[in-house]
Each structure stands twice: as C-alpha cells, then as structure tokens.
Structure 1
Amino acid sequence: MASISFLLKEPNATKVTPIFAFLSFDGQRAKVYTGLSILPKQWLKADQRAQVRGYPDNGTLNDALELAEKQLLTCYQNQRAQGMLPSVEVLRAAIVPALPVPKPAPALSFWQHVGEWESQKRAAGLLNTARTYATAIRHLREFAQTTGYAVDFDTITPTFGDKFTTYLVEKVRLTDNTVSKVLARVKRFMKWAAERGLHTNTRYTQLRWALREPDVMTLTAAEVAHLAALSLPAGGYLDNARGLFLLSCYTGLRYSDLVSIQPQHLHGTTLRLVMQKTRDVVTVPLRAEAVVLVGQLLSGELRPVANAVLNRYLKELGQRAELASPVEVVRYRAGKRESETLPKWQRLTCHTGRRTFATLALEQGLRPELVMKITGHKSWASFKRYVNITADVVSREFHKVYGGGA
C-alpha cells in the first residue's frame, strides 16, 4: 500500500517555493518534484493544500495536486501489477498536469494589506473609522521612513512598540490618549491580518501604552437653554449649526448618526436606526424639542455640514452665546501632566452634544442603564467617559437625600 504527502521545499521562505510529493511504499520513500510551487504563507500544512480563502486562484493549484496524487498512485499500482517497484524517474514522468497551473499570485506587501484594511472600512460606509485608520497608517509610514525601522508583520513586537511610542511622543508630540488609540488601531489591523492567515506573529498583542482619558466637557442645562433661546438670523449658518448641535444634546446621537436620519427611522416620537459606527440598532425617545428638529432635518430646513466645518461654527456660536466659563484642559504626554485654561466655547465640538445628553439625562434622574440603552454603550467603562457630573450637582443631590446644605 502506498501513501502520499505534499511538503514545501522551503516552508519558511518569503518567496515562491516548490511543492514536493513524498511517496511511501513497501518500506521505501521517494521524493518527487511536482512541478508546482506556492508562497509558503498560502500553504495549509495540516491539509497539505493551498489556502483558497483570499486566494481563489489556488483552487486550480489544489486541483493539480489532487491530479498528481492520483497519477502517482496509479503509477505505483501499475508497476506493482508488473512485479516491479517504481523508480523516482518513472514516478516523476507519471505527473502530467491536465491544464496549465497559473503562477502563484505575487504576495501583497505589508503596506498593500494595510491599504486594503482601510479600504474595506470605506467600502462599508464607515468613513469616520476609515479616517482614524488612515491617521494611524500615516503615523506608521512616517515612523518607518524617519527611523528606517522595517515595519512588517513579523517585526511588530514589543521592541517595535517601544520605538514607535517614543517616536509618537517625542517627535510627533502626541498625548498619551492619542498614542494609546494609534497602538490600538495597529493591533486591530494585526488581528484582522492574522484572521486572514497573513501572519502568525502573536507578540503584537503585547503592545501597551497607558491610556489617560482627557476630562469630559459638557454644557449645563442652563447653557443648553441659553443656546436654544439665543437670537440668531433665521436659516443662517449659525442657526443651522445650533439646530444640529441641540438635536445631538436632546438625543445623544453621534453626528454621523444624526445626519443619516431618514423618514423611515421616525416612528411617532421615537427614532429607531442603525448606528453608523457600531452597526447596533438603537431606539431613541424624542422630547418635544427634538421632534421639531427632526422634522426640520427631514424637510431640509436643517442642512448637514461637514463635521470639521460644524465644529468651527460651534465655536463661533459658543463665543456669541458668551459660554466663557473657564475650563481646565488636562493632557498627559509620556505620563507628564500638562494643563491650560480655556473659555468653554473654545472646546465646543459636535461631540459635546452627545456627552451633554448623557450627563444631563443622569442629572435628571434617568437610570444609567436606560441612558446607555439610548446612546448604544454596552459597558460602564466606555460610557463613563461621556459623563461629567459636576461638584455642584453632587452636592445638591446629596443634600436632597440627606438634608442640610445651603
């Protein structure tokens, strides 16, 4: 009885390598060159076949391997029927491909796979996510160009992490919070690549950087009411920016979700839609003011603008509304605390609306789990970054329960 196994000539090579057939029979073993070759990272050792997922052309290669196995076994059986054992030359001559086997597709480079990763998010409509990926990729490319470090699947290790984070802090001057996010995106890419069989490196999981979340800034209920009552030219760009911002304050929706609202999402005084970032379905009850603004958005009276443009308008709006109470901005860089004090309007962005909603909802007595259900947060750890319960509110609520106070 004969058995056949297929092995690579150079299983650890980074270029195309030949595939050999090993025929075991009657206490002997013959090594036969099949005339086929493959990139080692596309080879499934346990199956002794080429990986088809992600490499559809390898289906033809697997067919050729199946044919070679049949031809070798048939040759052995015919030789034994004649009372002989087949020689290597006879076995080699028995392998005749029925069809030309395409040359293995050239391996995509690390950077090409990185581009593919980003493009998939864009194709899925996750433009904001794709932009954050593009930023991380830019930092990675510039690091490789500046330092000469050969960034590849196998070189993303803790040593790489030390060099990369030093570069991000000292050269790019990123805060600890941003460095942590960049590393997280690199790890996300490496996991994506591993799931597609592009590498077997597991040391990338050891990349670490201390995350120090910045202080959360929100508006008070009085400030939101003041913005809503501010006299502005009807239909102007600031009036439009105010409407979009207030709708975020009233619903807790991210800007990307807010501007994607369609008539089919509105059910009476409730919105039900799929969040752009997470693809989770959320149900958002609408207060009276929000119902009006949603109607204006659907009618075209409220006009979506680019996120960066809206942020610029909001700072102008906040300045006009005299939202000038001092806010300390604290950042950490390489573990060192940096702070500056700014008027509140300078820190006003469209995301402030989502954070304001979460904070004011809790202050008004809505249970945390209900607020999280509306905002789409799945854990308290991620939700708490949106909450800014002030010392005044803590004192007021404490004395409401226990008495005392002014």
Structure 2
Amino acid sequence: MIYPYTFNLKDKNSKKPTLIYLRARIKNEGKYLKYSTGEKILPKYWDFKTQWPIKLKGRTKEATEINSVINQIGRYGDAFEKVYTVLEAQGIDLTVSLIRGELDYEFKKSSSAPNSFFTVFDQFIQEKKDLGNITDGTIARYENIKTLLQEFSIEKKYTLNFQSINENFYVNWVNYSRIKLEHKNNTLGRNIGFIKTFMNWAMKKKYHMNYDFKEFKKISSETDEIALSMEEVKILYEYDFSKNPRLEKVRDVFIFGCVTGMRYSDYSRINRTNIRNGQIFINTQKQKSNVGIPLNKYSEAILEKYQFNLPVISPQKFRDYIKEACKEVEMDEIITKTSFIGNKRIEEKFKKHEMISTHTARRTFITISLDKGMRPEVVMSITGHKSYSSFKKYIKLSSLSRELEMQKAWN
C-alpha cells in the first residue's frame, strides 16, 4: 500500500503564483519528503481541503493553465507511486534521499539515480573489477554491452529499467542487433548471456523482482573455426624466421600454445618459477586453478630458447603478426566460413592464414591431442575445462581422423 502523499503550496497567502510541492512521509525513515514539481498556481485557484487545483470550466486562459498544472503534478504523483512501489517490492530501505534521487532521474534526467538501470550496471562492473574473478577481456565486453544498451535505448526510444527488461525488450533487442548492428547469432547470443548475468546479479542484490529475463533464449549457431594439423604445426615450427625476429617470436609463442593447450593470457605470464618436476604450474586467469601441464619436447625447447621467459606480445600485435607468419609459410588454403544472422546464411571465403588467432593454438592442441588418441578427460584436465559441454565446441577433428574411424567401422 502506498503511503499517502499530498500536494502543498509554498506560500498559501501569496498574491502571485506560488510553487507546488509534493509531500510524503517516508515511514521507514520517519521523515518527510518535500519535492518541488516546478509548477506554480495562484492560491485562489487551490482547494486547501483536497490539496488539489480547482478545475475551471470553459476555455479561458486560466482554465487552460490550471488544466496544464493538473496534468503536470499528476505526473509527479504517478512517478512517486511507481518509485515507492518498486523500491518497496525490492526490499530496499526507503529514504528521502533515495526517493529524491529516483525522482530527479525521472524529471531532471539526472544520471546519478541510485537505482537506475545503468547506474546499477556500473556498480555491477565495478564489483567484478574489485573481486578480480573475471578477465580484463570479459570486463571490456560488459562495458561494451552497456554502451550498446544505451545506444539501443536512445535510438529505439525504449526506456530501460529493471521492469522493462521483458519479452517486448527481448524482441526489440534481437531485431535491433540483427538489423542495426548486423550481429551474427553467436555474438547476439553472447550479449543476451551478458544481460542475463547482470539481471541475475541485480536480482540477488534485490534491485528488482522481475523474472521475465530468465526466459530469454541464448541464440547460437555452429561456427566454422579452424585448427592446424600436426603437419602444419611442424612446418610453422621448423620454418626459418631468423631474418625476421618479430615473426620468429610470435611463431614460438603461438607454437607453445599449440603444444600446451594454454590460453594466451596464461602462457604469456610464464617464467622459470612456474616449472616444477617437468610440469607447468600456473593459476589460470579464467578458472583460477593451478593446472599442472606436462612439458613435451616442443614446449621445453621453446622455454629453453628464451631462458624460461617467453616474449611478451600485446594481443593485438599477436593477432596481426601470427597471421603474417602463417602467410609466410603459405597457409593459403581457401576456407569457407559459414555464419548466420537469424535464418540468413552468410558464407565468406578466407585464406587460412587470415583466420588464425591466439585461440587457434588452444583449439589446435585439443584437436591434435584427440587425433593422437589422448582420452578426452585427460585433455580436459590439461586445458582446465570443467564440463564436456564447454569442451566439445573446441573439437575440430581432422579429415584424416574421420577417414580412419570410417575405415575401422565399415571396412
């Protein structure tokens, strides 16, 4: 039940139009909220019994002005009721300053409303930074989705608050992402996942009790990601880059990823202290687990080459340089990459070296390890995957493996 509010005049004895205030007792705090509507009225047109303007008949100037005042202060009353109801339903302790901040956001477009959608989104991102339990890359993705939501809100004139994240939002967001942003299904699905993560966090913090977002489906499609064959790894590893130290370093670091299955964010931090009893021990940035990865002849040789301190290369330069190195060794096979925007099928052709990224190394390790007969659970223990569902998307079995399995089964 909404605690009663009234409208009061600043000066009931004024001979000139005087300000109208919304006044309400905030029971939790035991204080009164006094909030200016910005509207003015002559006291002679004010009913002090009902605390409401006296409605005049006809189309006179005074009648028109008073009708306008009635409409405006009605908006303030509606906004107060909405703010009070939503915050109370969330179990938040109501205070004068809290409600004032929400009304400021509604009527003065203040960006600092304590419980506005984007202010809380900032709190969510800051908490993730403070806890340090996700990577910088994930933080950047959350900041990006916040920007996209702000742009969506402005362009589509869709007010974003915790109650408006519903089926109507979902339909509009999917449409906007596909048509305006041209996001492919997997990008769209990832962003929906980020929104759901934020909404779950906000619900646990009691900012809202809106369950509609739990029905949002994370859209996805199979992607054509690549992995190198063992032959390609050997060609790249044995190629003479001595005249180009820049490409030699990026090649060595990339191959290290191909033969260990580690993420770039992890193996770029390795030094001698991480090597014990023929294994690499490092707290992975994503799982925070101290994974022991056995060395092999390739990883050991690369570590010794650099005195157990691998070259440090920025992610952007790494992506550019490894493509250049793979082009140098003529990885020019034409790859058709298929993706989807909704049901629209998109086929793009690339040379293989154009599709190489830091993550190709990890996928290559998984593919080759399985091709060579390593059990999936052993490979998962090395890569740090906790579930097969997240692991299987990396599996890109070579055509040779499929041919051998077909021969074994049918011939």
1:332 is aligned to: 340
2:117 is aligned to: 110
2:317 is aligned to: 309
1:153 is aligned to: 162
The yes-or-no answer on 1:142 pairing with 2:151 is yes
- Which structure 1 residue ranges, 5 or more long, are not aligned? 1-6, 22-32, 59-104
In 1, are the aligned partners of 2:270 and 2:308 still within 8 Å (CA)? no
1:9 to 3, 8, 23: 3
Deviation of the 1:282 alpha carbon: 2.1
1:35 to 18, 31, 36: 31
Aligned pairs (5 A) from 1:38-53: 50=93
In 2, are the aligned partners of 1:325 and 1:344 still within 8 Å (CA)? yes
CA distance in 1, matches of 2:368, 2:184: 28
2:102 is aligned to: none
Q: Report the AA paired with residue 340 of structure 1.
A: E
Aligned pairs (5 A) from 1:27-176: 34-35=30-31, 50=93, 107-123=114-130, 124=132, 126-176=135-185
Aligned pairs (5 A) from 1:178-327: 178-233=187-242, 236-296=245-305, 299-300=308-309, 302-327=310-335
Give the structure-2-normalised TM-score. Answer: 0.73
Q: Report the AA paired with residue 400 of structure 2.
A: D
CA distance in 1, matches of 2:313, 2:129: 19
CA distance in 2, matches of 1:342, 1:44: 54
CA distance in 2, matches of 1:43, 1:161: 26
CA distance in 1, matches of 2:259, 2:364: 9
Structure 1 segments, 4+ long, off by >6 Å, are 36-42
Q: How many matched pairs? A: 330
SS in 2 for 1:341: strand
In 2, are the aligned partners of 1:8 and 1:19 still within 8 Å (CA)? no
CA distance in 2, matches of 1:45, 1:192: 13
In 1, are the aligned partners of 2:90 and 2:206 still within 8 Å (CA)? no
Q: What is the RMSD computed on CA atoms of the aligned residues?
A: 3.0
Deviation of the 1:403 alpha carbon: 7.8
Q: Alpha carbons of 1:402 and 1:174: their partners in 2 closer, same or farther (altered >3 Å)?
A: closer
Q: Alpha carbons of 1:50 and 1:119: their partners in 2 closer, same or farther (altered >3 Å)?
A: closer
Aligned pairs (5 A) from 1:13-28: 18-20=25-27
Give the structure-1-normalised TM-score. Answer: 0.74
Farther-moved stretch of structure 1 (255-264 vs 302-311): 255-264
SS in 2 for 1:332: strand
Q: Alpha carbons of 1:297 and 1:278: their partners in 2 closer, same or farther (altered >3 Å)?
A: farther
Partner deviation per Cα, 1:199-218 (whole Å, 9 max, x = no partner):
11110111124310312210
Q: Alpha carbons of 1:355 and 1:333: their partners in 2 closer, same or farther (altered >3 Å)?
A: same
In 2, are the aligned partners of 1:228 and 1:246 still within 8 Å (CA)? yes
1:24 is aligned to: none
CA distance in 2, matches of 1:45, 1:372: 42
